Structure 1
Amino acid sequence: MFITFALITLLGALGMLLQKNVVMAGLCMVAAFFGVAGLFVLLANPVAAAFQVIVYTGAIMVLVLFVIMMLNSHEEEKAEVAHPIQRWLSLALLAAMGFGAVKLVLASGGLKDLATRGEALPRAMNLQAVGSTLFADHLLGFEVAGLLLLAAMIGAVALTKRNL
């Protein structure tokens, strides 16, 4: 199952990068988000999987596709000047980051080291724990985020209304 969800995520991300049509790239991003949600389910974290589907696949992609349709630009513009040095530098940076990630994963030891040291293994989250933590310990941050999103929505409506 891991390989299936990892392939869905990787193919969706590659499709998003290689698409010239921005609407199709957005739909490939939805596939990548669903693959990540499946990986969260395999990690025994259904809360994160539900948040991934609801927040990213639902809300964020609707917002992205709405902006794409509002801007009415379905074709990507050609670059004015080609910079081949950027391509080589980005590939070198990608290789260095990939090497570092593989090195960190191999050096971590994973959950087996926690079990042998006698430490408690991490438990899966449930909705009751998320809700009590969110509304008890982080209530101020939750309310500030809500006000910030409200202000952004009002600003977006004001900018759109002016152009109509």
Structure 2
Amino acid sequence: MFITFALITLLGALGMLLQKNVVVAGLCMVAAFFGVAGLFVLLANPVAAALQIIVYTGAIMVLVLFVIMMLNSHQEEEAQASRPVQRWVSLALLAALAFGAVKLVLGSGGLKALAVKGAEMPQAMTLQKVGTTLFADHLLGFEVAGLVLLAAMIGAVALTKRNL
């Protein structure tokens, strides 16, 4: 199952990066979000999976696709000039990040670290823990995020309604 969800996530992300049509790229991003939600289920964290589907796949991607379709930006702009330096720098950066990720995974010990006597598996997140953490420890951040979303919604309405 892990390989299935990992492939869904990776193929969705690659499809998003390689698509020229922004609507299809947005739908590929939805597939990647569903793959991540499946990985959360495999990690025995159904709360994070539900939040992934509700918040990212449901709300944000609907908003992004709605804005893309409303702005009617289906045509991609042509590049001004060829920039081969950017391509090589980005490939070098990608190789460095991939090397660092592989080194980090191989150096972490994996299951050997969990097999140490006395090591415990982390407990699954529950809705009560999410609510307590969100509304007790991070209340200010939660309220600021709400105000930012309200400002974004007002801005979206102002941009679409030209005759206010």
Q: TM-score, normalised by structure 2?
A: 0.92
- Stretches of structure 1 that go unaligned for 5 or more consecutive residues are none
Q: How does 1:113-132 map to 2 (within 5 A)?
A: 113-132=113-132
Cα deviation digits, residues 46-103 of structure 1 (max 9, x gap): 1111111111111111111111112112121211101011111111110110000010
Alpha-carbon contact 1:8-1:31 (below 8 Å) kept: yes
Equivalenced residues, count? 164
Partner of 2:92: 92
> 1:152: how far off?
2.0
Could you tell me which amino acid in structure 2 is paired with residue 150 of structure 1? L
In structure 2, what is the Cα distance between the partners aligned to 1:34 and 1:85?
35
Instruction: Supply the RMSD in Å over aligned alpha carbons.
Output: 1.6
In structure 1, what is the Cα distance between the partners aligned to 2:115 and 2:126?
22
Alpha-carbon contact 1:115-1:121 (below 8 Å) kept: no
Question: Please, which moves more after superposition, 71-80 or 106-115?
Answer: 106-115
Identity of aligned residues (%): 85
Partner of 1:157: 157
- Stretches of structure 2 that go unaligned for 5 or more consecutive residues are none
In structure 2, what is the Cα distance between the partners aligned to 1:87 and 1:27?
26
In structure 1, what is the Cα distance between the partners aligned to 2:149 and 2:25?
25
Partner of 2:10: 10
Cα deviation digits, residues 81-136 of structure 1 (max 9, x gap): 01011111111110110000010011111353144152332111111111121122
**Which structure features the higher share of helix residues?**
1
* Helix, strand or coil at the partner of 2:44: coil
Q: TM-score, normalised by structure 1?
A: 0.92
Partner of 1:55: 55
Tell me, yes or no, if structure 1 residue 148 matches structure 2 residue 148: yes
In structure 2, what is the Cα distance between the partners aligned to 1:23 and 1:132?
37
Tell me, yes or no, if structure 1 residue 112 matches structure 2 residue 115: no
In structure 1, what is the Cα distance between the partners aligned to 2:41 and 2:54?
14
> 1:160: how far off?
2.2
Seen in structure 2, the aligned counterparts of structure 1 residues 104 and 92 have a Cα distance that, compared at 3 Å, is: same
In structure 1, what is the Cα distance between the partners aligned to 2:117 and 2:144?
40
